Structure 1
């Protein structure tokens, strides 16, 4: 590998500020996925199927706008020399919309409550995309060095896992401070989370480069943005393989995330046990993120990614035993899943900017970082959103009984088994399929370095 030049070397400040963005992206990806369906079914009295439709509809909107935002981001980069403008708008708007999502007025009925959540969450998803799409495009522009990108994304994932713990464990703990008024608990939780979301996103926006690195064509219609997105999918086989893998794994982890609160209440019989589950998941992930970087430096990112995925598969297969023998023993395979999850986040996100740089070198022309990141974000969002959708379908098909705050119900055995399957067998099947798609990713380190030197 050629010696790293000054422009390729990232300062500690750049790495730190970029990583802090994961406090926002990780928090928004985690907390709604963990509590939103549960909030709808067990506090607002919305049916499980309707709750799934609400979450899915908001995410479909997100998927539709991501490629457009990617194209707009590329144009802004060419016109102003930075992607920061959209990121700041998202950083300011997301906290407000997030609080509104959990600020449903009392006494308006389940239908009106469902519509309130749908509109507010769609607004939140829009603001999140305004930040997330250009944020994902930045690594390809911040450095041209193969291993520096791994370093940058490693520390991002360290902060991402901390954010998952902070929001995934801390959010329910804040909610639990108000046992007599769960709806107030959700609102206070949302306000506290919104502060961290806003600060994390705004700090990360300051790392955006202030000058254009590559030419970008001016002006483009919405249809052009979609055509550009379809083009990168059609013409770039490694991108299709990596995105397909990431989507399937996002679906698996999103399904487990959405099911975790139900596992805590109906399998471990302790609503607050979700905190212990998150600690078991995230503590190993924080420790393992730098380890996966070292493994990737030694054997290559794609091989390390395959190893992490296989470890996660083993964990979900072990969790399948909970269908017949539920208990606190599940903490051990959850910890293994957490160790693997660090690699499943660090490595594909570090491979993406390599792929973008390789595409530009081979194809030439306009800077398409925003197009790639827009399609990537749409795919990631689809995977995570469908996790909640699949859970809602499982709950509805197994007879899960929705309720309102303060009203106790007894779930049928089939519904409890469905929750266990959603946390184990279904994610295991998705992980196995993701290893098939990953086998089709054929870019190696020498391919990347050979086109960047």
Structure 2
């Protein structure tokens, strides 16, 4: 019997890669600015207690856990019914800029309780709009290409743009915030950032595949039966895909680590390094190496595989953050060097798991005969955003336990020494421990070698 030759998948057009990557202008902006300034905005401008600020972030992320799997299941249903996932993405892209501005539009003189409620409600609505875009966006790579290396290329460029967006929003956002009064500065920052975020998201919606309604017949319309069906679909993919479970756990631990660092950066600049300018310099030190090295992580994955590349990135990040522990006792300009090492590693920690997720989705589809990429994307997004929020919440716990003093706009305070040490350790020791722990589940990931061998065989490579 003559075996039919396997035709390799075509290389993704550059326009598709560019448009998909541009979505990370928006996702990077929304992930960066709230994580960087929102808790600081509450504690040091609105005089909201640190534990209240942390509680609000946690409650918003609980909502994300509830809504993201539902959005993912409905995205799969929409793919069957309408032939595309783009509709929800467009709604989220249009709504997010307005809701983002509303989050930072608390009028001067508003009481702390009402201010906390205002920000909490607006941020919850903005997070919902973000999920409408983000969940289908994460599902797209598995549908854009089935090629192992093309997925690395696609996600590598996405991470390069993501890193550039983090640098731009993290570096320029605080500078815009410092224009005018604290209240008008935050509003200006939110308006400029919101418009930029919305533009990036809208451009990326054009990359979503469009098929005739009903053409994606292998997709189960899990969202058609309501929220409980969506949760059951999410639990089903967790139960049946061991690779998804271990990859998700590793990524979740690293999300907590990066969430703690992101939320702590503003505090480190002001109270540890005692310089407002240090915040922009910290971001430059963190993200500039990530931008430079993002394509190199893709090339490394081509040579040694995604799992091993992910492992090396995690180890380097652990080393960089562990070196920062000394900042609790001797802060200074030397901190930019280990931050740069962590930044270069961060690019790999983002690119590799996002390139591995489509492999997991493809493996599951091959084993079970159904494509539920939206369900995978919903669970992934819920866990990622929850991890980032838990990192921020961990910082607020440390601030509360060490006696951090909240303040309203324009009022100067002195922080107790334990609070300053706690801020430094939240930025260094906590991320190091969590990232090191993420290597344990990653060790059990098994798809990488098999996927690469199957892909090499399809391309006729030895």
- In the other structure, the counterpart of 1:157 is 159
In the alignment, does 2:346 pair up with 1:341? Answer: yes
Q: Equivalent of 2:97, from 95, 98, 104?
A: 95
Question: Does the CA-based 8 Å contact 2:313-2:349 persist in structure 1?
Answer: yes
- In the other structure, the counterpart of 1:142 is 144
Question: Does the CA-based 8 Å contact 1:141-1:213 persist in structure 2?
Answer: no
Following superposition of structure 1 onto structure 2, how do residues 47-446 of structure 1 map, counting pairs within 5 Å? 47-178=49-180, 181-211=181-211, 212-218=215-221, 219-364=224-369, 366-446=370-450
Residues 340-396 of structure 1: CA deviation (Å, up to 9, x unaligned): 0000000100000011001100111x3210000100001101110101100000000
Question: Does the CA-based 8 Å contact 1:56-1:389 persist in structure 2?
Answer: yes
CA–CA separation in structure 1 for the residues paired with 2:141 and 2:238: 20
CA–CA separation in structure 1 for the residues paired with 2:397 and 2:125: 25
Residues 226-256 of structure 1: CA deviation (Å, up to 9, x unaligned): 0010111111111000000000001001100
Deviation at 1:444, TM superposition (A): 2.0
Question: Does the CA-based 8 Å contact 2:305-2:452 persist in structure 1?
Answer: no
Question: Does the CA-based 8 Å contact 1:142-1:209 persist in structure 2?
Answer: yes
Consecutive unaligned residues in structure 1, runs of 5 or more: none
CA–CA separation in structure 2 for the residues paired with 1:196 and 1:376: 25
Paired residue secondary structure (1:45)? coil
Deviation at 1:213, TM superposition (A): 4.3
Paired residue secondary structure (2:225)? coil
CA–CA separation in structure 2 for the residues paired with 1:3 and 1:419: 55
CA–CA separation in structure 2 for the residues paired with 1:138 and 1:149: 11
Paired residue secondary structure (2:274)? coil
Residues 248-281 of structure 1: CA deviation (Å, up to 9, x unaligned): 0010011000000000000111122100000000
Paired residue secondary structure (1:98)? helix
Deviation at 1:186, TM superposition (A): 0.3
Question: Does the CA-based 8 Å contact 1:153-1:350 persist in structure 2?
Answer: yes
In the alignment, does 2:8 pair up with 1:4? Answer: yes
Deviation at 1:3, TM superposition (A): 5.6
Question: Does the CA-based 8 Å contact 2:9-2:145 persist in structure 1?
Answer: no
CA–CA separation in structure 1 for the residues paired with 2:307 and 2:438: 13
CA–CA separation in structure 1 for the residues paired with 2:284 and 2:110: 36
The TM-score, its normalising length taken from structure 2, stands at 0.95
CA–CA separation in structure 2 for the residues paired with 1:384 and 1:2: 42
CA–CA separation in structure 2 for the residues paired with 1:127 and 1:75: 19
CA–CA separation in structure 2 for the residues paired with 1:14 and 1:312: 31
CA–CA separation in structure 1 for the residues paired with 2:442 and 2:100: 34
Question: Does the CA-based 8 Å contact 2:220-2:372 persist in structure 1?
Answer: no
The TM-score, its normalising length taken from structure 1, stands at 0.97
CA–CA separation in structure 1 for the residues paired with 2:292 and 2:362: 29
Deviation at 1:105, TM superposition (A): 1.6
CA–CA separation in structure 2 for the residues paired with 1:385 and 1:284: 25
Deviation at 1:5, TM superposition (A): 2.7
Q: Give the number of equivalent residue pairs.
A: 448
Paired residue secondary structure (1:444)? helix
CA–CA separation in structure 1 for the residues paired with 2:95 and 2:13: 29
Question: Does the CA-based 8 Å contact 1:41-1:404 persist in structure 2?
Answer: yes
Consecutive unaligned residues in structure 2, runs of 5 or more: none
C-alpha RMSD of the superposition: 1.3
Paired residue secondary structure (1:251)? helix
CA–CA separation in structure 2 for the residues paired with 1:399 and 1:429: 24
